[in-house]
Structure formats: C-alpha cells, structure tokens
Structure 1
Amino acid sequence: MSEQAIYVYAQWNVKVGKLDEVLQILTQAAKKSSEEKGNLFYKIHQSKSDQNTLILFEGYENETALEFHKNSENYQNLVVKEIVPLLESREVILMDQVF
C-alpha cells in the first residue's frame, strides 16, 4: 500500500425527508472518524442549490489509514448500516494530490 496521503471525495444524495436524520447520524460519524489514527481531516459540505446533496471531503495519512477507517466499527455501523439506506445515491472518488 502507498504511504502517500489519500483523499476521499464523496457525494451523497439524501432521500427526500431524510436529511435531518442523516445529519444527526453523520455528526456522530464525523466526530469518531476525525479521532481515528491516520485521519487528517473530515469535512462535510452541503450544496447551496440542493440541500439534500452533501459532499464529504476526507484526508488520510495513507491507504492503511483509509482501510482502517473503512473497516472501523464506526464506519460500518453508522455509515454503511444507518446512513446508506437513507441515500438516493452515493459516489465515492479516491484521489492523490498532484501538487
């Protein structure tokens, strides 16, 4: 695995009527994710034109830290089991910094 920092861009389109529930769960998930070893940042943004569109921008020290995050109890329970069923769609892009 690469020792280079890795960044995650995730666009979540929340089902109508589920935004408050998603934001409540996401607050917990963000706090716990930010405390993980190897996490550089965990930022949540909301579209100005569509409040049901959330953008997550996350940074990890390396791929090992990202894999730890994805396999964490926090991610599996809060994001995969609770939040994903409340989404219309989700796109995740992994990125390396170019310059």
Structure 2
Amino acid sequence: MSLYNIIKRPIVTEKSSLMKEQSNAYVFEVEKSADKVLIKKSVEQLFNVKVKSVKTLIQRGKYKKYGKDTGRTKSWKKAVVSLSDGKIELFEGV
C-alpha cells in the first residue's frame, strides 16, 4: 500500500474545526487496513509536518431506509492526527 493511498479525505465539521483550533489536531478518513504508524508516515510525507500522536477509531455504518428496504452504509476508519508544530494548509479558509 502506497503512503499516498492511505489518506482518503479530510473530515471538515464543527467538531474537527474546534479540535484544529484548540489542540492542533486534524481529522482524516483513512484506509481501513492502515495502522497508526502508516498514518503517521503518510501525514508527515504528504504535508511536511511533525506528527505528535495518532488516534484511530472505526466509525460504524448508519442504518438507512431505501423505500421498504433497510440497509446500512459502510463502516469507515477515522484518524485524529495531533501535530507537534506547524499547520496543514489544506484546511485554511474552509
């Protein structure tokens, strides 16, 4: 698995914006098979920053109703990446 394929997209919500301002932590959707070491290497290489810690969690899929049928969206993995110093410019102005 390439380091460029580990991070799928940034998660931009009110809660993640507060985390960014208060504790310099950024939230990403990542590959489900990626571990904390790979996520740390990927963020450091992609954004040229120093990562302090990585916290991961599996976000369960939500139950949805499609007419008469009920289904479930896919589960996905979320990573909260804390930076020791520096910022990721991707989130500026969002």
* Shorter-normalised TM range: 0.3 to 0.5
Bigger proportion of residues as helix: 1
Scaled by the length of structure 2, the TM-score of the pair is 0.37
Larger radius of gyration: 2
TM-score of the aligned structures, taking structure 1 as reference length: 0.35
The structure whose RCO (Cα within 8 Å, separation 6+) is larger is 1
